[in-house]
Structure formats: C-alpha cells, structure tokens
Amino acid sequence: MSDKRQRWGIAHIYSSYNNTLIHVTDTTGAETLAFRSGGRVVKQGRQEGSTNAAMMIAKSIAEELLNKGVNSLNIRIRAPGGHNGPMNPGKGAQAALRALSRAGIRIGNIDEVTPKPHDGCKKKGGKKGKRL
C-alpha cells in the first residue's frame, strides 16, 4: 500500500455513438466533483462521440480530480439501452477508461449499468420488423 491516502469517487461514463459524458461524484453519488461532455472539447458535433474527444475529456477530468485530492475511482459504464437504444457503449467508453488510468488515477471496480428492458413498450419496426 502506498503512503498516500486514497480518496475514492465514482465515475459515471455514458457513451453513445454520438457523444461521451463523464460525471464524477463522491462515493455516495450525492455531490458532483467533475463533469465533462464531448461538446466541451471539440468543435464539430460529429466528433463528440469519438475516441479523441473521450481522451481529452478524461484527461481534463483527471487533472481536476487530482487537484481536489481524489486519486481512485470506481467506474460505471452506461450505454443508451432501453427498449430501442443500443445495448453496447460507444467507442468513447474504453478510450476514456484508458486515459483515466494513464493520468495516474487508480481504477477500482468497473460496472456495466446499461438499462435493460423488461417487457415495457413495444419495439419500433412494425409487425414484420425492420425491413433490410
């Protein structure tokens, strides 16, 4: 164990095909420590969900967290999910996770918290499904 005291936080990473959001809270989830989205670091809207944007977001988040004294994170990765959204996260999730660990943040648990449908609304596509 290192001589530095570990302060933990929770990083909520929402990654869709169009955007990546990283929201870091304290361990209770009540207080926000840092928040960034793809729109804050890139100019074009089409680049918000890219790996490059996710790495820039994670780098600035890590800087802010280390200044506040948080040096360890539990990760919660989420995709859009639901009954019509894709169940797998976008390409920004893995890039953000890798950039956080490279910036000197210790990674604890990694959870996948995509919402799963349990027979709520009918899927779109009609009676015969999506035509290909």
Q: Report how far residue 101's alpha carbon sits from residue 120's, in angstroms, rounded to the nearest whole number.
A: 38
67 belongs to a structural domain: yes
pLDDT surpassing 50 at residue 55: yes
* Whole-number pLDDT of residue 132: 80
118 belongs to a structural domain: no
Q: Which of 3-7, 62-66, 84-88 has the lowest mean pLDDT?
A: 3-7
128 belongs to a structural domain: no
**108: domain range?**
8-112
* Whole-number pLDDT of residue 1: 46
Mean pLDDT score, 27-36: 96
**Number of structural domains found in the chain:** 1
Tell which residue, 114, 94, 92, 97, has the closest CA to residue 15: 92
Mean residue pLDDT across the chain: 93
126 belongs to a structural domain: no
pLDDT surpassing 60 at residue 3: no
* Whole-number pLDDT of residue 65: 96
Instruction: Specify the DSSP element, H or E, that contains 65.
Output: helix 51-68
123 belongs to a structural domain: no
17 belongs to a structural domain: yes
92 belongs to a structural domain: yes
* Whole-number pLDDT of residue 13: 98
CATH of residue 24's domain is: 3.30.420.80
Residue 13 CB contacts under 8 Å (≥ 6 apart), including other chains: 20, 21, 22, 75, 76, 77, 78, 89, 92, 93, 96, 97
80 belongs to a structural domain: yes
